[in-house]
């Protein structure tokens, strides 16, 4: 009987603690609903429970907001990645179109220059460069089968590139104007003094054998004189950047900045005959063929 009287309060306490635990669990799992329910409760218990419940509800709303923001940021990140990939693809397409437009512009410029200058020009592409330090030269995709021969001049619309030194059936080797082994007859436009343009080991050029009494100065432009085969008169060679006049020397010399940047060549024109050569040959043929009266 005594044992039974003790067992009832113990079970009641267990039931009370269990109910309290369930209440706390409900408060934590459903803070918003529980907060609304406790608004109708009055007295000390409601006031005591309402304070932590409101804090839990605020925390739950904050966690929910952070989670929704995280999910939204994930979507934005994926969209940004897709946009970045699209921009890279468009940038690649733009580069290809820009390169095609640049090539078209260069070829159009060559064609226009060819039509205005000479009917005996052959357009060619640079397909190789000398890999050693012995020569400054480039390789063209045109050769003997295209009418290219050694000693023919090579130019661009900007000016002189160099001279053909070796050919085979399909390709040609051009010795650049900046090579020390190259020599081209030059003329100072302002003073009309003549000299020889040779390349230097620094990748520039030098005008040699300028008369001592010449009034040449920095900034003067040098063109081909047309006295030596391969180049007609008046093609740009470069601009004088420095004058060297040694005491006791018989001639002056001048450093020359080439008109054409030979390190960026892509297309060139090969002169198959100097200016007037075709007309002279045609005139001779007509005079021979014409019967005497």
Q: What is the pLDDT of residues 65-88, one digit of tens each?
A: 666 666 667 677 777 777 777 776
DSSP annotation of 291 reads P
Contact 128, 139 (CB under 8 A): yes
Q: Rounded to two decimals, what is the model's pTM?
A: 0.56
What is the pLDDT, as a whole number, of residue 60?
A: 59
- Count Cβ atoms within 10 A of the Cβ of residue 179 and give its class: 0-12 exposed, 13-18 middle, 19 or more buried: buried
State the pLDDT confidence band at 8, using cuts at 50, 70 and 90.
Answer: very low
> Where is 194: in which H helix or E strand?
strand 194-199
**How many other CB atoms are there within 10 angstroms of residue 31's CB atom?**
20
| Rounded mean pLDDT, 7-34 | 59
* Whether pLDDT at 13 is above 70: no
């Amino acid at each position: 009987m005594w044992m039974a009287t003790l067992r009832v309060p113990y079970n009641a306490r267990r039931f009370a603690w269990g109910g309290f635990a369930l209440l706390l669990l409900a408060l934590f799992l459903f803070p918003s609903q529980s907060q609304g329910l406790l608004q109708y409760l009055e007295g000390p218990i409601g006031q005591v429970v309402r304070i932590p419940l409101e804090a839990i509800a605020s925390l739950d709303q904050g966690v929910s907001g952070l989670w929704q923001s995280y999910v939204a940021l994930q979507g934005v990140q994926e969209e940004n990645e897709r946009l970045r990939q699209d921009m890279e693809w468009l940038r690649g397409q733009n580069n290809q179109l820009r390169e095609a437009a640049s090539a078209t512009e260069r070829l159009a410029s060559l064609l226009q220059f060819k039509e205005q200058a000479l009917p005996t020009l052959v357009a060619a592409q640079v397909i190789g460069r000398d890999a050693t330090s012995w020569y400054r030269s480039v390789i063209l995709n045109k050769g003997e089968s295209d009418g290219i021969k050694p000693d023919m001049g090579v130019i661009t619309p900007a000016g002189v590139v160099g001279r053909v030194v070796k050919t085979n059936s399909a390709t040609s080797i051009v010795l650049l104007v900046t090579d020390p082994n190259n020599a081209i007859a030059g003329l100072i436009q302002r003073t009309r003094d003549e000299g020889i343009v040779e390349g230097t080991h620094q990748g520039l050029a030098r005008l040699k054998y300028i008369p001592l009494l010449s009034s040449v100065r920095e900034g003067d432009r040098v063109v081909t004189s047309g006295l030596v085969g391969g180049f007609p008169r008046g093609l740009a060679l470069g601009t004088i950047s420095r004058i060297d006049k040694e005491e006791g020397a018989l001639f002056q010399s001048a450093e020359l900045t080439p008109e054409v940047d030979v390190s960026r060549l892509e297309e060139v024109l090969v002169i198959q005959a100097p200016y007037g050569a075709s007309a002279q040959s045609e005139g001779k043929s007509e005079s021979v063929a014409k019967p005497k009266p």
